[in-house]
Amino acid sequence: MFETFYPDEYVESTYGIDFEKMYESGYRSVIFDIDNTLVPHDAPADANAVEFFKRLEKIGFKALVLSNNKEPRVKKFADAVGCMYIYKANKPARGGYLRAMEKLGTNKENTLFVGDQLFTDVWGARRTGIHSILVHPINPKEEIQIVLKRYLEKIVLHFYKRRQLSD
């Protein structure tokens, strides 16, 4: 019933993902959400994020941030970490994900998506056929509309975790 929203993987943090292993598996690009995936909500790129994107480039990955935010927020972050970006992506619509792969020069078979929300990030990636990785939000302090969605996410994640245990 909730499988449409299930991520391919669910991990603690973006920074704990074994991107070297993902590269060895054939992935060549990563699309990221920004807020609560790479930094706390509305926070600027920090030294950790900058180093992380350098590491991805050294591995061989192309990276892009895909956000529903307005351009000033997204551009400032992307410029600081040195990656491409798409703002006002209208996630979970497929268009932003498709444009991202076009900009990256990759396809759904060799692209990863990393985000912290099921109903925008993961659902959009799944609808597009991209391998999705859900991460725990960095900071629990969020806008009210996201807080409300988190209650629904808990229900979906309950069934997701039960399924993972039974597999």
- pLDDT of residue 140 exceeding 90, the answer is no
Q: Which structural domain, as residue segments, surrounds residue 77?
A: 3-166
CATH number at 86 reads 3.40.50.1000
134 has a pLDDT exceeding 70: yes
Give whole-number Cα distances, 4 to 118, 120, 123, 125, in Å: 10, 12, 7, 11
Q: What pLDDT, on the 0 to 100 scale, is given for residue 73?
A: 97
pLDDT value, residue 10? 95
Domain count, the chain: 1
The predicted-structure confidence for 61-80, as pLDDT tens digits, reads as follows 999 999 999 999 999 999 99
Residue 159 phi, psi dihedral angles, 5° rounding:
-70, -35
Helix (H, G, I), strand (E, B) or coil at 12: coil
**Alpha carbon separation from 125 to 53, 80, 154 (Å, rounded):** 21, 25, 19
- pLDDT at res. 143: 67
Average pLDDT for the chain: 93
